[in-house]
Amino acid sequence: MKILIMLTYYRPHTSGLTIYAERLARGLAARGHTVTVLTSHTHVPRSHPQETMEDGVRVVRAPVLFRISKGVIMPTIGLLATREVLRHDVVCLHLPQFDAAGVALRGRLLGKPTTLTYHCDLKLPPGLFNVAVNQVVHVMNRLAGIFSDRVIAYTQDFAGHSPFLHAFRRKVDIIPPPVELPQVGPDAAAAFAKMHDLDGSGPVIGMATRLASEKGVEILLNALPRVLEVYPKARVLFAGQHQDVMGEEAYARRLAPLFRRYEDEGRWKFLGVLNPAQMAAFYPNLDVILIPSLNSTESFGLVQAEAMLCGTPSIASDLPGVRQPVLQSGMGEVAPVGDSAGLAKAIIKVIGNKSNYVRPRQEIAGRWSTERTAAGYEALFERLLKEKRSE
C-alpha cells in the first residue's frame, strides 16, 4: 500500500503525537508499505530540504508563512495535499491539526480511504485570541471527523469520555499506541547514573515531558516537601524540553523560583531532550516515573509504558486513557488529578514497595508495541480499501 500520514509537526519536534506518528510511519514502512509523511517545515533549519528520506519514510515539509498560537499557516499545503492524496492509496490524519478537514475532504472526493487518529484535546492558554483559535480548530476537527471513514483512539477509556470521539462513536476503532525502547546493557545505565551523580543514597523520581502547563509539573513541585520529609535525599530528574517551549513562557517564569530552590538544594535536575538510547538508560535509574497531567490534552502517556519496559513503575493522574497503562499492567498507582497531597502519598507508597509493582518486560511488550500498532493500522487500511472497491 501507499500510505500518506499527515500531521502539523514531525521530528525533530518532540511530543507524544510526533513520537507516535514517527513510530507508526517506520512500523508501516518496515511491513513493506510505501509511506509518506506530510508535515510543516518547522523545527528544522530553513536550508533543510523540503523532501527527504528518513528511516525508509519519505518526508515532505510544507513551507510555513507564519505561526498562529501553536499552529502554523502553510500557503502551499492545499496543493501539496492534493498531489499526495492522488499519489497514495490511503490517508492517515492525526489530530489536533487545523488542516486535517481539507485533506479529509480530498480523501472523500478522490475516493481514498481516510482515517483520523485523535490523540488528545487542544486547550490553549487563556485569552480572547486563543479562545477564538480553539473554536476554529474544534470546527475543523469536527469537519475532519465527518469526512473521514474511521476515527482511531488509543483506548476505549479515552474514547468513552471524549466529547469529540463520542460524536463519532460509530466510526471509532481502538488501536493500542506504539511503544518501543532500545535495550541497553547495565553498563549504559551505570554510566548514566555516574554522569548524573546517582549514588543510590535516595530514591529518584522521573518526569519525561515538555514543560507545559497541562503536564502538572507544579503538582509535583508542591508534593516534594511531603516526599522529602520521608525521603530527604530524594531527587527529581526531568527529561524533555524545559526552555523556550512554544506558548509556555509565562508558565516557566511562574515556576522558576521553585525550580531554582530545588536545583540549589540538589533535589531537581533538568536533563534536556534525550535520544532513545539515553531514555533507555534514564528509565532504569528511576524508582518511579510520574504523569501528573491535568486535563484531556493527555490521553495516554507513552513514556510511562516505556518506563515499564525497564521495570520502572508509574504514577498517573486519574484521567481517561492516562490511567490505563497502570490499570492494565498493575505497574503503579493512579493519583487524583491536581492533588499534590495525593501525588505525594502515591510516590511514597510506590517507592516503599517498588518490587510489588514490577512486571516482566515481555508482559509489557505484549500489550504495547510498534509492531502491534502498525499491524492494527494495516488491517484497518486493508478493510477500508476492500469496502471502497466493493462500493
pLDDT above 90: residue 147: yes
- Distance CA(50)–CA(110), nearest Å, equals 25
- Distance CA(345)–CA(351), nearest Å, equals 10
pLDDT for residue 67:
79
Query: Between 128 and 319, whose confidence is greater?
Result: 319
pLDDT for residue 158:
96
Residues 181-229: tens digit of each pLDDT = 998 989 999 999 999 999 999 999 999 999 999 999 999 999 999 999 9
Domain-by-domain residue ranges, the chain?
A: 2-178+369-390, 186-367
Residues 322-358: tens digit of each pLDDT = 999 999 999 999 999 999 999 999 999 999 999 999 9
How would residue 391 be classed by pLDDT, with cut points 50, 70 and 90?
confident
Residues 294-324: tens digit of each pLDDT = 998 899 999 999 999 999 999 999 999 999 9
Residues near 165 by Cβ (< 8 Å), separated by ≥ 6?
Answer: 118, 151, 153, 158, 159, 172
User: C-alpha cell of 164?
Assistant: 469529540
Query: What Rg do the C-alpha atoms of the chain give, in angstroms?
Result: 21
Tell me what the mean pLDDT of segment 55-73 comes to. 88
pLDDT for residue 13:
85
pLDDT above 90: residue 135: no
Mean pLDDT of the chain: 94
Cross-strand pairs, 35: 3
Closest CA to 227 of 238, 235, 215, 216: 235
pLDDT for residue 16:
87
Tell me what the mean pLDDT of segment 238-250 comes to. 89
Domains 2-178+369-390 and 186-367 share a fold: yes
Task: Quote the percentage of the chain above a pLDDT of 90.
Answer: 83
Closest CA to 106 of 130, 126, 90: 90
- Contact of 172 with 151, CB cutoff 8 Å: yes
- Contact of 313 with 331, CB cutoff 8 Å: yes
Angle at 373 between CA 372 and CA 376, to 5 degrees: 85
Tell me what the mean pLDDT of segment 127-149 comes to. 82
How would residue 388 be classed by pLDDT, with cut points 50, 70 and 90?
confident
Residue carrying C-alpha cell 555516574: 194
Residues 152-169: tens digit of each pLDDT = 999 999 999 999 999 999
pLDDT for residue 312:
98
pLDDT above 90: residue 77: yes
pLDDT for residue 387:
93
- Distance CA(19)–CA(381), nearest Å, equals 21
The topology (CATH level 3) of 2-178+369-390 is Rossmann fold (3.40.50)
The topology (CATH level 3) of 186-367 is Rossmann fold (3.40.50)
pLDDT for residue 125:
62
pLDDT above 80: residue 3: yes
Give one DSSP letter per residue of 7-61, joined into a string.
Answer: -S--TTS-SHHHHHHHHHHHHHHHTT-EEEEEEES-SS-TTS-SEEEETTEEEEE
**Among the ranges given (5-9, 127-131, 207-211, 308-312), the one the predictor scored with the smallest mean pLDDT:** 127-131
pLDDT above 80: residue 137: no
Residues 17-33: tens digit of each pLDDT = 999 999 999 999 999 99
pLDDT for residue 124:
61
Residues 98-124: tens digit of each pLDDT = 899 999 999 999 999 999 999 988 766
pLDDT above 80: residue 131: no
Tell me what the mean pLDDT of segment 253-269 comes to. 96
User: C-alpha cell of 332?
Assistant: 503503579
- Contact of 178 with 374, CB cutoff 8 Å: yes
pLDDT for residue 129:
63
- Distance CA(200)–CA(195), nearest Å, equals 13
pLDDT for residue 133:
66
